[in-house]
Structure 1
Amino acid sequence: MTDPSLLSLEQLNAATVAEFTTWLDGTYEHSPWIAERAAARRPFVSLAALKRALVEVVRESGLEAQLGLIRAHPELAGKAMIARKLTAESSHEQGKAGLTDCTPEEFATLQQLNADYNAKFGFPFILAVRGPRGQGLGKAEIIATFARRLLNHPEFEQAEALRNIHRIAEIRLNEKFGFEPLLGQQVWDWCEQLARHSEQDDALTVTYLSPAHRACAAQIAHWMETECGFDQVEIDAVGNVVGLYHGSDSAAPRLLTGSHYDTVRNGGKYDGRLGIFVPMACVRELNAQGRRLPFGIEVVAFAEEEGQRYPATFLGSGALVGQFDPAWLDQADGAGITMRDAMVQAGLPATLEAIAALARDPAQYLGFVEVHIEQGPVLNGLDLPLGIVSSINGSRRYLGQISGQASHAGTTPMALRRDAASAAAELLLFLEQRAAQVPDLVGTIGLLEVPNGSVNVVPGCCCFSLDIRATTDAVRDACAADTLAELQRICERRGVSYSLRETLCAAAAPSAPAWQARWEQAVAALGLPLLRLPSGAGHDAMKLHDILPQAMLFVRGLNAGISHNPLESTSCDDAELAVLAFQQLLELTAKDTA
C-alpha cells in the first residue's frame, strides 16, 4: 500500500506553484524560493530530474542568493542545536551523526572549529553529515573533514558548501518520496567490504598477487557466484576474475565489461572497483527476474592496471588482447620476487601458453563498456552525477636530465651561471602555457629533482619528467614536438645540455560512436543533462580498444573528484544512477541486437 504521506512526481507535476513549494518545504534550509523557481521547470520525468532542476536554480541564482542559502544553515553542534532551535530536518541529521551527544572535548573542538571557520569564510561550515551512504558520518570523520576544509581557498569552499547543501537536499528528497537507492547501496557496500583486504592496516593498498589481492579476487568470485547468479565464474591465468552470464542463446555474442581491482598504494575504494560492481548489480537483477538478454554479459575484474608491484601496467586487460609481454614474467618486485614466482605462489600456471590462451576473439563480442569514477573535478564542479566519455587521452611520457655546472651560490654572478634547475623551470612554464592554448590538451612536469642539491649551490643537475596528453594523437604529438624543441633552445641559450628518453607512448582511444550514443541515450532516459568529456587517465578500455569498439561512463567523485587518495568517494545515489544507466544500456543493446 502506498504511504499517503509520501510525494510522487505525478503530484508535483500537477500541483500549483504554492502546493509545489509547500510540499518541498524543508528540502533546502529556510529557502522556499528554490522550490518556487524550480516549479517552472516541470514536468519532471524522474526524481533525478527534479534534483537537477533544484541544483540549476541555485547555480543560476547569483552569489548573494547562494551566500544567503549557505548562511541559512545552522552550525554543526552550534548555538541553534544547544537552544533546540534547529529545523526538524537538521535536528534529525545532526542527531543521526551523534552531534547531539558529544563529549566535552569533542564539543569544545567543534566550537573552536566553528569560530575559526566563520572568521575565515564568513559563513557556517556545511557538511552533509548523513554521508555518502546516508546512514551518518562518525564524529571523528566530521571533525577531520572540518579541519581539512579550513585549509581551502574561500571561493572553492563556497562551492564545496553548496555541494554539501545539494547532498543534504538529495537525502531529504529521498525521504519525502520514500526512495532508497538500494542498487547504489549494494554497489557502495561491495566497494567498502572489498576495501577490508589491504596490505596496510592504515591505508588501502592492493598490488598484484599479494595476499590482499588474492583475497579480493576470491571475494569478488564469491559474490559473483552466490549473490549475483553468474553461470560461470573463474580466476584466469593472470588473476582476472571472470564472470559469465549467458544470453538467451548461450552461443550468442557477449558484451564485455569490467574494470580493475588492484589499487595504487594508499589509494581509494572506488577507482576501478566501481566498474566491476555496477555490472555485477545489473546481472544480479537480471538473475532475480529470471531474465536472459539476446547476448551474454561477461564481467571481468582485471587483476592489474596500476603497475604498482611490477612495471607491467594493464597486465590484466592486456592479456585479453594478446599483449602480454613475455619479459614481464622475469621482472622482480622490491623484495626480489619475480612475477613468475608470484604467479606460482598464487596457484596460477605461470606459463606463456596459458596466458596466451586468454586472448579474446573479437568476433564473439559486441563491444566493451566500462563504468569508472571520474578521477577528476569536472562532474563534481558542475554538480552532475554522470558524464559520457568521448575519448581516452593519448599520452607520451619522458624522463630527462639537464646538466649544467654546480657552483657557489654566493660567488657565481647571475650572468655566468649554468643553472640546470632554472632551465627545467623555464621548460615547465613553457609546457604549462603551451598546453593551456588547446582544449583537452594537458601537460605536466610532475617530477622535478635536484640530486644532492644544497641551499648554497647553483644546481648543476636537474632530473625531470614530461607527461603530455590529448584526445587525439596529432594534438599530443604537436605539443610534444614543440616542447622538445623548446627544451633544446633553452639549453642552448643557457649553456647546459640535456638527455631525454621516452618511457610511454599510448594512443588515444576515441569512444565508438554507437556505444557512446547508447550511453547518451541511457543518461538522457534518467532525466539528466548530457555532458561529454575526455578521460585524462588511462583505463582498461584503452587496451580493449585495440580489438573492440569501446565507450565509457564516468561517475561523479566527491571531495572535488579526488582519486588515488583515501578521500576518494562517491555517493550511493550516484552509484544508483550508474546502475540504472547501465541497465538502460543493456536494454538498448538488446533492442539493437534482437
Structure 2
Amino acid sequence: MLTLAELNAASQTEFTAAMQGVYEHSPWIAERTWSARPFATLAALKIALVQTVRQARRDEQLALIRAHPELAGQAAVDGTLTAESTHEQVRAGLAHCTSEEFTRIKALNADYGARFGWPFILAVRGARGSGLSRQHIIAALERRLDNPPDVEFAEALRQIHRIAELRLNDKFGHIPELGNLVWDWCEQLAKHSEPGWAEKGELTATYLTDAHRAAAADIAATMRDCGFDQVEIDAVGNVVGTYHGRDPAAPRLLTGSHYDTVRNAGKYDGRIGHFVPMACVRALYRAGRRLPFGLEVVAFAEEEGQRYKATFLGSGALVGGFDPAWLDQRDRDGITMREAMQHAGLPADLQAIAALRRDPARYLGFVEVHIEQGPVLNALDLPLGIVTSISASVRYVGEIIGMASHAGTTPMNARRDAACAAAELALFVERRAAADGDSVGTVGLLEVPGGSINVVPGRCRFSLDLRAPNNEQRDRLRDDVLAELAALCTRRGLRDTIEETMRESAAPSDPAWQGRWERAVTALGLPLHRLPSGAGHDAMKLHTAFPQAMLFVRGENAGISHNPLESSTADDLDLACAAFTQLLDQLAAS
C-alpha cells in the first residue's frame, strides 16, 4: 500500500506514476499537484488534487470528463476500459445487465451525449463505496438529463472527484470505518417509516408515530451497544445517552440533533448529529478511554414541527421551552399530543417535562454536527464547513377567505378568488426576500379546501416561512409581507386569518466553540470555510442556555435536503467523526 511518507518524498515523475489511474487518462493533475507537497493527511492530498482541477482551464476540465468511458458502453464491450473502471463497473453489476437494462442505458447514454457533448459520469461505487444498483444508476441518468448544461458539467466533475477519492482509498488501504458505521446506522434507521410512505420506499417518521417510536428504540439499542453508561427515553421522547468522564460528576459536553423527519424525507437530516458522536463514544469505549468530562448525546424527538405545530419540542424541553398548550394540539387525525404521549408510554405530565430542563452550570456547552442542507460546500468541493450563525426565522399558517362561485358565470371583475390572492402573495414573498440578497421566503403549502375544476376558489390555506441573518432583517421582511397580505385582501374584497406558529431568534456561534471546530478541521488538513445556516437547528434552541457551535457536513446531489435524494458519503461522515474526535481531544487537553 502507498503511504504519505513515500508520496511526500517522491520526485514529480514518481509522484505522477504513483497517482496513475486516480484521474482517468489525466496525468497532468498529479503533475501539477506534486508541488503542493507535503500532505499531512490523505484528506489534504484529496483536496489538493481537487483544487488542481478547479484551477484548470475549462477545456482541460472538459477533456478530463471526456477521458471517462460511458457506463456499460462500447469500451466495456470491447474490453478497453482501464483496470479501475472495469473493477468499478463490475462491482456495480453493469457487466450483468439484463437486455432491457442494457438497451435502456444505451439509449440514455446516447441522449445524454447528444444533449451535453460528453459521457455521463457517475461514481458507481456510490456514497458507501460498496456499489450502486443498476436501478439507481439508470434513475440517476434519467434525472440528470434534465440538468442545465453548466449544472451538469459541475456535477460530472464532482462525480470524477468522488471516483478519485475511492481510488485513493484503495491505493492507501484506507477504510472510513466510523463513516461507514454512521452511514449504515442512517440506512438502518430509515427502515422505520409510516404507513403510506413505507410501501413506496419513502421515509416519514413524525413525532410519536409507531415509526418514530421504533426509531427511538433502535437509537437507544445502538447507544447501549456503543458503550454508553446510561441510556433513557425521556418524558418527551428524546433518546439520551450519557458516557461518563473519569469522574462521573464531572461537567458534560452536550451534543446531538433530531431524529424525527419531514414527510418523504432524506436519511441524514438531523440523524448524523447523534450518530457521529455515538460513533466517537463507541471508539472511546472500545479503547477503554475516559475523558476529563462527560458526554451527553441527545437524539431529539421533535424538531420539524410536522405532526404538531411544536417545532424544536425536543431540544426546547431541555431549556424550559415546552409550551403547555402544545399538549392540547390535535394532529390531522384529531389525536391530541397528550393522547399521543400517553399512547407512547410517556407521562404527558407538565411536571415531568419541566424536570428535563438542564442546569447550564453542569455543562461545558453544546455542539451539533449536521448535514449542510444547501449547495455551498458541494459547489466548493469541501467536505466540512464551520457555521458562523443560524438565521432568525418566523413561520405562519393562514387562510384567505373569499367567495366560491361558478367558474363559467362569474365575470373576472366580480370574482373574490382566494387562490389568486394567495398566488399574488407568494410572488410578493419571492420578490421581497430576493431584494435583501440574503433573506429567504417560502410559501410551501397552498391548499384549496374542497376545490373543484369549475369553481372559483372561495378559500385558500397557505404557509409562510421567512428567514434572515438577523432578527431585525427578519422582522422587516415579516412586516412587509403581512402588510402586503392585508393590502391585497382589501383590494380584492377578501379577508384573512394568520397565525404565527414559530419564531426563533438568530443564533450566532460562540467564538470559543467555533474556534474549536476550526482547529479540528484544520488538523485534518482541510481548508476552512465559514458559512451561516439558513436552516433552523436544535442548536438555535440550545443557544438560549448554552454556548454553541455547529459543524456542517457536505451533502451530495447539490446539497439537496428534505428530499429522498439527500445524501452524504461515508468519507465525509468519517471526516466529521475525526473532527469531533479532534474537538474532544482539544477539550481534554485544555
* TM-score, normalisation: structure 2: 0.93
Q: How far did residue 438 of structure 1 move?
A: 3.1
CA distance in 1, matches of 2:514, 2:157: 31
* Shift, 1:448, TM fit: 4.2
Indicate the larger mover: 154-163 or 446-455. Answer: 446-455
CA change 1:403–1:262 in 2 (3 A) is: closer
Match of 1:81 in 2: 76
Distance apart, 1:92 and its partner CA: 0.5
Q: Is residue 253–residue 295 contact of structure 1 (8 Å, CA) maintained in 2?
A: yes
**1: CA distance, partners of 2:414 / 2:436:** 36
1:339, distance to aligned residue in structure 2 (A) = 2.8
Aligned residue type for 2:552: F
Rounded Cα–Cα distance in structure 1 between residues aligned with 2:421 and 2:330: 36
Q: How does 1:151-166 map to 2 (within 5 A)?
A: 151-166=146-161
For residue 132 of structure 2, the aligned residue among 137, 151, 174 is: 137
The answer to whether structure 1 residue 253 and structure 2 residue 251 are counterparts is yes
What is aligned with 1:115? 110
Contact 1:395–1:507 (CA under 8 A) maintained in structure 2: yes
Deviation at 1:464, TM superposition (A): 3.8
Residue in structure 1 matching 2:468, options 467, 470, 476 = 470
Q: Cα deviations across residues 426-457 of structure 1 (Å, max 9, x unaligned)?
A: 54444333323434321223334556667777
Identity %: 70
- 2:381 paired with 1:386: no
- Structure 1 contact 440–534 (Cα < 8 Å) conserved: no
Match of 1:480? 478
Preserved contact between residue 516 and residue 551 of structure 1 (Cα < 8 Å): yes
Alignment counterpart, residue 172 of structure 1, candidates 155, 158, 167? 167
Cross-structure match for 1:544: 542
Aligned to 2:357: 359
Match of 1:315 among 313, 316, 325: 313
Q: 1:415 to 1:66 in 2, by over 3 A?
A: farther
User: Structure 1 counterpart of 2:380, which letter?
Assistant: L
Aligned 8 A contact 1:471 1:510 in 2: no
1:588 has 2:583 as partner: no
Deviates more, 1:295-304 or 1:151-160: 151-160
- In structure 2, C-alpha distance between the alignment counterparts of 1:557 and 1:512, rounded to whole Å: 24
**1:388-408 Cα shifts (integer Å, max 9, x gaps):** 111111112233455667788
Residue 529 (structure 2) aligns with: 531
1: CA distance, partners of 2:499 / 2:327: 24
Q: Secondary structure at the match of 1:146?
A: helix
Cα distance, 1:298 vs. partner?
0.4
Q: Is the 8 A contact 1:197 1:216 kept in 2?
A: yes
Aligned: 1:105 with 2:100: yes
Could you tell me which residue of structure 2 aligns to residue 208 of structure 1? 207
After TM superposition, give the deviation of residue 462 of structure 1 in Å: 5.0
Q: Give the letter for the 2:185 counterpart.
A: W
Query: Match for residue 267 of structure 1?
Result: 265
The answer to whether the Cα contact below 8 Å between 2:206 and 2:307 also exists between their aligned partners in 1 is: yes
Amino acid at match of 1:209: L
- Per-residue CA deviation, residues 216-254 of structure 1 (Å, 9 max, x unaligned), is 22222222222x211111122222111111112211110
5+ long unaligned stretches in structure 2: none
Q: Give the superposition deviation at 1:326.
A: 2.3
**How far 1:32 moved relative to its partner?**
1.0
Q: Relative to structure 2, which stretch is displaced further, 580-589 or 346-355?
A: 346-355
Is 1:25 equivalent to 2:24 in the alignment? no
Please state whether the residue corresponding to 1:158 is helix, strand or coil: helix
Q: How far apart, in 1, do the equivalents of 2:307 and 2:456 lie?
A: 36
Distance 1:417 1:535, change over 3 A: same
Deviation for aligned residue 1:208: 2.2
Provide the residue aligned with 2:221 in structure 1: 222
1:190 and 1:170 map into 2 onto residues whose CA distance is: 22
1:243 aligned partner: 241
The aligned counterpart of 1:54 is 49
Quick one: which of 497, 506, 515 aligns to 1:517?
515
Decide whether the 8 Å contact of 2:309 with 2:501 is kept in 1: no
2:442, 2:304 → 1: CA distance?
19
- CA distance in 2 between counterparts of 1:589 and 1:296 reads 11
Instruction: State the SS of the aligned residue for 2:571.
Output: helix
Match of 2:395 in 1: 397
Inter-partner Cα distance in structure 2 for 1:158 and 1:30: 18
Give how far 1:161 is off. Answer: 1.1
Residue identity in the other structure for 2:173: G
Query: For structure 1, which segment, 60-69 or 413-422, has the greater mean C-alpha deviation from structure 2 after superposition?
Result: 413-422
SS across alignment from 2:228? coil
Normalising by structure 1, report the TM-score: 0.92
Q: Secondary structure at the match of 1:334?
A: coil
Superposed displacement of residue 334, structure 1: 3.4
Instruction: Report deviation, 1:63.
Output: 2.1
CA distance in 1, matches of 2:65, 2:399: 50
In structure 1, what residue type is equivalent to 2:154?
A
Query: How much is the aligned-residue C-alpha RMSD, in angstroms?
Result: 2.4
For residue 481 of structure 1, report the CA deviation from its aligned partner: 2.2
Give the deviation of 1:356 after TM superposition: 1.6
Structure 1, unpaired ranges of 5+ = 1-5
Q: Note the C-alpha offset of 1:563.
A: 1.6
**Number of corresponding residues:** 586
Tell me what 1:3 maps to.
none
SS, match of residue 21 in structure 2: coil
Aligned mates of 1:104, 1:283 — CA distance in 2: 48
